[in-house]
Structure 1
Amino acid sequence: MRKENSSNAINRQFLSESCILNAAVDAFSGRWIPQIIYSISEGLNRFHLLKNELPNISEQVLGRKLKELEKEGIIIKEVIPDTVPVGVCYILTGKGKDLLPIFVSICEWGKKYVVENEMS
């Protein structure tokens, strides 16, 4: 949980208010967030499937990140009917689906510039 009074939170708020790009990037940045969004888009939409796909993430962190994505309106949590215990899956919203081509563009940029610089 983010502390609203911390200097990081104050700086994040200032940057978000001063430039829409900062606000947009903040909505999907952070450790694990892009990978979780991508994994859900690939059909890994149950908690245990995401945990298996991302073995280095703790269950607490995964749960917290899913809640953050839900709060941002990037995913929704849907109850799977007729399951015992009650099962849920995560689905990308339109807002979440609109991130996918952006991620592809960022990956292409990374292949061109980040990977290139690491090999130099």
Structure 2
Amino acid sequence: MAKQESLRTSECPVARTLESIGERWCLMIIREAFDDVRRFSEFQKNLGLAKNILSSRLKQLVDVGVFEICPASDGSAYGEYVLTDKGRTIFPIVVALRQWGERYMFEEGEIHSVLVDNTHGEPVQPLEVRSCDGNTLGPGDCHRRRVISGESANPLCDPPVS
């Protein structure tokens, strides 16, 4: 069997992302964090996950900068896992997975949850991929281009620097 190169060094951003946060328990932990879960015991209770697996995945998520460990907000001796700015930017990924699941993974009449906007009490609008001028894009409307990290892929769509 051929030895698989680590996805951590792949040129593909999808591969690197999956290597970092794509394992199912990592995504479920992140989902819980978006529901304001912060403590190890709360993650374990909500997910029903073995302590060793939970500990390993939380360490991985801290190592890649998705979480930071902070003193407990209630002043107790426990630490809390708090999403970093990097971690909070995963929200659209979780929403996209959720919306796909809402649409395709339930039979008619089957009970499931939906993500609801706190202000209006209505389901969140479906995510869409858009061009820099606002047009909706599908897979046939896009292609990959190699770039060097830090350089703009398209200066015409970059926001002005202030």
Do both share a fold (TM > 0.5)? Answer: yes
Q: Distance in 1 between matches of 2:24 and 2:92?
A: 19
Q: 1:60 aligns with which of 47, 52, 55?
A: 52
* Residue of structure 2 in register with 1:112 after alignment: 103
Which AA in structure 1 matches 2:7?
R
Task: Quote the RMSD (CA, aligned, Å).
Answer: 2.4
Unmatched tracts of structure 2, length 5 or more: 109-162
Query: More helix by proportion, 1 or 2?
Result: 1
Q: Distance in 1 between matches of 2:80 and 2:64?
A: 17
Offset of residue 11 of structure 1? 4.4
Aligned length: 106
* Residue of structure 2 in register with 1:97 after alignment: 88
* Residue of structure 1 in register with 2:28 after alignment: 35
* Residue of structure 1 in register with 2:7 after alignment: 12
SS in structure 2 of the partner of residue 18 of structure 1: coil
Q: Distance in 2 between matches of 1:18 and 1:52?
A: 37
Which AA in structure 2 matches 1:22?
A
Unmatched tracts of structure 1, length 5 or more: 1-6
Q: Percent identity?
A: 24
Tell me the TM-score normalised to structure 2 length: 0.57
Instruction: Look at both structures and tell me which one has the larger radius of gyration over its CA atoms.
Output: 2
Greater relative contact order (CA < 8 Å, ≥ 6 in sequence): 1
Moved >4 Å (runs of 4+): none
Q: Distance in 1 between matches of 2:26 and 2:13?
A: 19
